[in-house]
A and B are shown apart, each in its own frame.
Chain A
Amino acid sequence: MSCRVRGLVTGIVCLVGAAGALAGEKAFDASRDAVVLDGQIDWTKARLIVVQHDRRYKTLDSFARESLYSMTRREHFPQLSPMASLMEWLFNRSAYADTPIVNLKEPGVRYHFTSHLNSDVVRDRIRRTGKMTLREFADPMIERRARELEPRPTMGTAMRRVREAQVVAQFFDETVRIVPQPGSDPDALWHTPQELLANVPQEFWNESGIDPAALLAGSGEPIAGISGEQALSIILPWVALRAAWLSHDAATVQAKLDELAERLPKLAAAGAYPSESQRAAEARYYAMGKVNFAWLVYFLGFLVSVMALVTNWKVARLAALLLLVAGLGLHAYGIALRWYILGRIPNANMFEAVVFAAWGAIFAAGVLELVFRWNLFMLAAHAAGFFALIVAQFVIPGGGTITSIMGILDDIMLRIHTVMIIFSYGLIFIAGVLALVYLFGYYYFTKPGASIEAGMMMALAGMWALAVLWIAYRNVQPGIVGVPKPAWLTLSGWIACGLCTLALCCWRLLRMRETGVAALFVAAVTCMVLGIGNDAFIWGVAWSLIGTGVVWAGGTGLGLLVSGSWPRTREVALPGAGSMRVDVGPALRNADRGDERRPILAGGMPGDERVFFERKLPEWLNQADWAHLIILNLVFVLLFGGVILGAVWADYSWGRPWGWDPKEVFAMNTWIIYAILIHVRFVVKQRGLWTAWLSVLGCLMMAFNWCYVNFFIVGMHSYA
């Protein structure tokens, strides 16, 4: 069996590893010459020029990536480096007037911004791709629509994105504040090169024979503190750079960029210009995609860990461990770079917290794996790393852009409370993975048929939710603001959820089989989602159900197929089980078997080592339960400590320790679930099973707190 499994898993790994490279994108027509020029320029110095932008100092390279991303949803133009894209946008923007370069992310915005268009072709193109040309984006009707939509809270995020794109598309020159303000104030406002024109001495205009009237039109008063000589030292290379870029003169471009890179830092007030090593770190960090690609290593490690767990193959274990070390190393490198760039611990926003928490939890799980050697911690660690970095790269808004933090966050508690809380959240996720492993194994060995049925039911429930969604929104495009969710969907969702819950409560009276109970449970959850969620939420949950169900049922089926046997276990009555009655005899008799094997770190709670089935469950399921307990004990203490330290912070920050803010409440709720879990273990027969289910619930509660509460519920923690 093990050879077949090894062969299968190795094949999957190879297939995933060989999965295709991305096809290169075609350059814009307008940037063909720039592509050639880009290849001739060494951007090493220029990209480290600092820009004062968005409440922080950042490298020109970061500025280019972030600005272009906010307009195009990509960090550079096709086949151009970010720096070359920036130069094109600064000096050659008019050439892109008819290039579909502005990318509108939200379907609702696409709909509203195109409803005035007469051309069906253009309207359909924008609605389908989200891409508008600069000329289309500058239509006054767009501004009018934006003003209408902006006051709507539901459009807040979408309109903020539109405004950011507008700034880059239309006012980009005004944001390139690369000229430091000389003097002693490190926070003083910096300037764009154009603003220096007002400081150019009259003698220069006289000598050069240039009429300054046209150049100075619209420019304000001369900037105090910058001499004419200083202004000229920047203006002249800037103007030459522009001319050279437009004429594709690579040598001059290179010379002027280097000149600016050398002169600009000299103008800055002491302490304002970040050190060269910091700037280089930032450039490297962005160039490496914030090192999020480590998810690939974790993913590979996860597959190998599964193989190691299922087959107990030492080579696979070693490979998985090495991959864990590699993943942790890359992961740590990304965190360290970010920490160095920021000059503070990187855990102040969603991206930083997810990445940091995952690393902490993976490290802890790695240590535990080395201690206990069960392959379980390793598997959970790989899963957590993969999931966290995928979320960080593809899901979290902003994609991990480095931002400044509010003054209120700049406190010692950011290093203690936040670290403690997010570390516990990371461990909760690890526990969640262990719970799923336990549940999968438990049902595989005890009720494989029902397990497959349950997986299929989940998938069917997801499909059903998608069908309902299609029926509800078939005449309108989902996500369009102003099209409310049909009342019948909300009402019927809640009613059906209520009926399912009622039936669940009476499952014994109704003499339902476990499969029926599972079906009712899945139906209740799906109906609740239909009742409570908007179209996007329903869509996401539906696909999650389908994916999970297919993997669950498929995994069980595959296991049965590969093993070639049908596990047979039968529940037997265990006198006294669940009644908390424990006599001395079994304790003594089992002392050298069950109890002693249970690691001391799993705490004082009884483990699931008692024989509950006719045929004993495999040892690794007991280990999964113990591993689970080790993590949950840590979580229980860390989460409580983190919440209490948060209360301490709130007390000296907001004047009260507890304000029933949703974030606080849901942290407390998560802790309550674990308190229930601990007590449930005293009064139920199937302790491991209950623990696993409650752990999944705790993990969902944590995820709800971290995602939904953060983004959709207004509270004191909104800035986080």
Chain B
Amino acid sequence: MSSTTPPTEKAGKRKGGPLLRLLTSVWFGIVLLTLILAYACIFSAMPQVRGALELTEMAAFSHWLFAALVFLFCVVLATTTWVRIRWNVKNAGVLIVHTGLLLLTGGSIWYFGTKIEGDVLLISPRIELLTADGKELRNGAMLAEKGQRWANTMPALGGRVELEVLETRGAGVEPVVSADVKVAIGDAAPQTLTLTAPDAGTQPISDRLTVRLSPATVERTFYDRFVAALYFGPAGTDLQHAALSALPLHRERYVDGPEVIRDANNRASPSKRNWPHVRLAGLTIPTGWFETWRMPIDVPTPGLPFDVQITGYLPYVRGFDTVAAEGGAELNPAVNLRFRISGRDEDVLLFARDPRESIVLDQSGLGVEYLWAESDAQREEWQKPLAGPHELTIEIKDPPVSQTLAVEAGQKISVPGTTYELTVDQLLPDWPLMTPGFENARSPVARVRVSNGEKSYDRTVVQRFPQLSQDIDEQGMRRREGPYDPNLVLRYRTSAAGWIRVIGGPAPESGYAVAVWDTRGGVQKHTGAFGASIAVSPGLAMTLVSAPIRAQRAMVPVVEPLETRRPDFERQKSAIRVKLTGRKEFSGWSQSLWLQFFSYPTVDATPSVVRGPDGREYSLLYSRQEHDLGGELALRRLRVNFFPGRRSAESWHSGFLTAVYKPDAERVPAHLRSSRSDLFAGAAVAGEVYTNQTHTFGRWTLFQSGAPSNDDWSWSSLGVGNREGIWTMVLGCILVPVGCIYAFYIKPVIVRRRKAEALAEAFRREASGRKAPVGANNKDLVEVGS
């Protein structure tokens, strides 16, 4: 390579066809190196490019284009070395370097071609303190290890409680299956308990406290760092999973759906390209040959009565909002409204048939109400203007009198032709209801003092639900069973702070009506067209977004605003939207839902449960692809070294037990293997990984990957990876510098010495009158001359 003799040395003119000349061209090699360099610069230094193409660093450098460039370079290197470099001692350096590079590249291709990387979460064995009814106490746990102590003063639970682990016993890879624990509570004499998991793992230590041994988790699988997976199956059963290799990673990509994805600042967060293509000057150029992500993605889900398709991906989800979506089993009218207040959007969800959720009242008293009218007459009735900001309707049965008038607080009203004297005591814009069935529903109310000569009582008139109006009689008794005075009916309406009613109904031709009352009681009627903005007041506008009739609640993700996104979350904050479509006899059935990401499908993960078209419940969970460890692994302990002050960790040590399965154990389902001691290749072995120290477990290498930030013992996350081809790379790596040193520092000495000898020989021949030879020695001189 570097110190090679000129490549033309083997022949004055290079032989072979154009292809061979190309493959043995130094310029071509340089061009290839330059292309490799450019590729590496772009894909390493420009995360935007990787983001746009949905590539991780690992994927970018495992891409076929990069592999092709490297392969072509290797071909050129090998061909040139073979064809143009003479195999002799002087060229040993370049030959060694080139051989080393080929080995290094070959090893790399093997390594990265088979690379799997992930991690496994290991929970420490622990002694936990619980209340008698099984609730865990905060910070009430310690590592189940001999000599560990825990103490705390808990006056409500018996005073000072002290625990000490006297002895532990393990079995197989499980470091602790039984523990002797000394317990002391208050002044009582200490007691020693033997906790044996699982049967005698929990024992009472007082009438208020119990203590429990939680063994370490035994892991047989780990989870891929890059490849996501969808776990699915009937609820309550072991879930199958399907890898989502084509799932995007960096950008929000979703096909059109009913909901608008918004960020936490309520700005729309539209999908980026939702299938691989580039638009250029009006042309759409497919780029699927280069990009590996796809949307939508069909997920193979054998055994389910519905097909599953991934229709959306969001990388940064801050939380979920509830919206109404079609798909419910029964009539449940709902409306999604969007208000624009001083340039800011706010979403409102109302359910017409739910008293609690059919209205929102803001602090000023402005109410927004969704009503479901069964008839056009009712629809018209609900849009009538008010007599004033507050309107009271008085109906007396005997004598029949009906009167509607504007009222204000403190106003006294004498009903003509009757003995009724009414005083409007209070007009309250927001009153919480406590009546069963209406708990926490809110409404404006009017409090009216009534006197008719015979009775004198207070009536609370509820605007939205007149039937719930109640009287308090002279004795101060609240008449819950019915009105104290059935002869008088009062109805109250207000728009003192404005009022909005959205009215729907079963007649689709009538559409939706929107009535907006001003603060004086006047009403403006609008036709509720979806997407059209309705001006409510200066600075306030309303838009009808959607109004599902058979509504069900759906979770819509709220994404992280662009300016606060951190690029190092990988999939931790992501969510996917799955579309479920019934198969065969259920072909009309369809449902969409968002699933949030869980790092581990078995730890703190909550599957989403859907009712399938067959009426059964199914679980869906979005997590990472599972890989078989080929053995069992359980954490014994995590130890932490601290910096001075013990406020931050310097390094971590994880001690664990491992047992490797025999090769044929793969035929047995993973969860059944523990009970089969014949499946293990040997006894459990203690291992340890720590900062700068790995451990080999079967075909995997384990390394320290994560640890808790709030304690120094409870769990540890171990990285898991394979390293095929590593020794080929090592050999290559040794050869390259050896060859360089030879070429740079040994060959020049050889060359110079030979040159001196050749010159001396030439001068000697010249002195003796003989001619210098031309044949074989000439080659040497050519090399020397370089």
Q: Is the CB of B568 within 8 A of A582?
A: no
Give A21 to B722 CA distance when docked, in angstroms. Answer: 62
- Choice from A410, A591, A637 contacting B740 with Cβ under 8 Å: A637
B647 adjacent to A189 (CB under 8 Å): yes
B785 contacts A656, CB within 8 Å? Answer: no
Closest to B759 in A: A591
From known contacts A408-B651, A580-B8, A672-B33, infer whether A713 and B60 are also in contact, taking CB-CB under 8 Å: no
Q: Considering the complex, give the chain A residue whose CB is closest to the CB of B94.
A: A604
Which residues in B have their C-beta under 8 angstroms from that of A672?
33, 36-37, 40
The digit string for B679-714, where 1 denotes a CB below 8 A from any CB of A, is 000000000000111100000011100000000000
Chain B residues near A153 (CB, 8 Å)? Answer: 564-567
Give A668 to B7 CA distance when docked, in angstroms. 26
Task: Say yes or no: A669 contacts B692, CB within 8 Å.
Answer: no
CB of A653 within 8 A of chain B? yes
Task: Check A587–B693 contact: CB distance below 8 A.
Answer: no
Across the interface, do B30 and A605 meet the contact criterion of CB distance under 8 Å? no
Instruction: Kindly state the separation between the CA atoms of A694 and B777 in the bound complex, as whole angstroms.
Output: 36
Judging by beta carbons under 8 Å apart, are A653 and B57 in contact?
A: no
Are B721 and A656 touching (Cβ within 8 A)? yes
Contact A636 B651 (CB under 8 A): no
Interface residues of A in 91-131 (CB under 8 A from B): none
0/1 string, B633-677, CB within 8 A of A gives 1: 000000001111111111110000000000000000000000000
In the bound complex, residues from chain A placing their C-beta under 8 Å from that of B16 are none
Q: Is B762 part of the binding interface, using a Cβ–Cβ cutoff of 8 Å? A: yes
A322 and B649 CA atoms in complex are apart in Å by 47
Expressed in whole angstroms, the minimum distance between the Cβ of A589 and any Cβ of chain B is: 10
Interface size class of A (residues with CB under 8 A): 35 or more
Q: How many residues of chain B get a CB closer than 8 Å to chain A's CBs? A: 83
Does B786 lie within 8 Å of A603, measured CB to CB? Answer: no
Q: How far is the CB of A153 from chain B (nearest CB, A)?
A: 5
Residue B478 lies at the interface, judged by CB distance under 8 Å to chain A: no
B745 touches A661 (CB 8 A): no
- Residues of B close to A189: CB separation below 8 A: 645-647
The complex places the Cα of A140 from the Cα of B19 at a distance, in Å, of 74
B651 to A407, Cβ gap below 8 A? yes
Q: How far is the CA of A656 from the CA of B117 in the complex (A)?
A: 9
Contact partner, A651, options B643, B646, B726, Cβ 8 Å: B726
Q: Which of B3, B45, B644, B744 contacts A709 (CB 8 A)?
A: B45
CA distance A348 to B90 in the complex (A): 41
Q: Residue A474 at the B interface, CB < 8 A?
A: no
What's the Cα separation between A683 and B8 when bound, in Å?
A: 11
B44 contacts across to A, CB distance below 8 A: 660, 662, 665-666, 669, 713
CB-CB under 8 A for A682 and B26, given A587-B781, A604-B786, A655-B703:
yes
B100: nearest chain-A partner, CB-CB: A640
Contact yes or no, A588 B759, CB < 8 A: yes
If A52-B645, A600-B748 touch, whether A408 touches B691 (CB-CB below 8 Å) is yes
The answer on a CB contact under 8 Å between B786 and A152 is no
- Check if B29 is an interface residue, CB within 8 A of chain A: yes
Query: Quick check: A603 and B3 within 8 Å, CB to CB?
Result: yes
Q: Roughly how many angstroms separate A679 CA and B568 CA in the complex, as a whole number?
A: 39
Tell me if B34 is interfacial: C-beta within 8 Å of chain A: yes
Q: Write the nearest CB–CB distance from B99 to chain A, whole angstroms.
A: 15
User: In the complex, which residue of chain A has the Cβ closest to the Cβ of B642?
Assistant: A187
B152 beta carbon closer than 8 Å to chain A: no
Q: Is A207 an interface residue (CB 8 A)?
A: no
The distance in angstroms between the C-alpha atoms of A636 and B1, with both chains bound, is 12
Q: Identify which of B57, B644, B645, B782 contacts A660 (C-beta below 8 A).
A: B57
Q: Verify A655–B694 contact, CB threshold 8 A.
A: yes
Does B529 lie at the interface of the complex (its beta carbon under 8 Å from any beta carbon of A)? Answer: no
Q: Hey, which chain A residues are within 8 Å of B737, CB to CB?
A: 637, 640-641, 644
Distance in Å from the Cβ of B782 to the closest Cβ of chain A?
Answer: 7
A604-B33 in contact given A660-B44, A683-B26 (Cβ < 8 Å): no
Contact between A152 and B40 (Cβ–Cβ < 8 Å)?
Answer: no
The one of B719, B762, B782 in contact with A655, judged by C-beta atoms closer than 8 angstroms, is B719
B698-750 residues with Cβ-Cβ distance < 8 A to A are 701-703, 719-721, 723, 726, 729, 733, 736-737, 740-741, 743-745, 747-749
Report 29 cross-chain contacts, Cβ distance below 8 Å, ordered by A residue.
A186-B644, A187-B644, A187-B645, A188-B646, A410-B651, A481-B563, A579-B8, A582-B785, A583-B782, A583-B785, A595-B755, A600-B749, A603-B743, A603-B748, A605-B3, A644-B736, A644-B737, A653-B694, A655-B702, A656-B117, A658-B108, A659-B57, A659-B58, A660-B61, A665-B61, A669-B44, A682-B7, A708-B45, A714-B47
By Cβ-Cβ distance, the 7 closest A-B pairs, closest first, are A407-B651, A587-B785, A604-B3, A655-B703, A55-B643, A665-B44, A151-B564
Query: Residues on A close to B: CB < 8 A?
Result: 52, 55-57, 151-154, 177, 186-190, 272, 404, 406-408, 410-411, 481-482, 579-584, 586-588, 591, 595, 600-606, 633, 636-637, 640-641, 644, 647, 649, 651-662, 665-666, 668-669, 672-673, 675-676, 678-680, 682-683, 704, 708-709, 713-714
14 new A-B contacts at CB < 8 Å, known A601-B745, A603-B2, A660-B58 = A190-B644, A579-B8, A587-B755, A591-B755, A603-B748, A605-B2, A633-B744, A636-B744, A651-B726, A654-B703, A655-B701, A655-B719, A657-B726, A676-B37
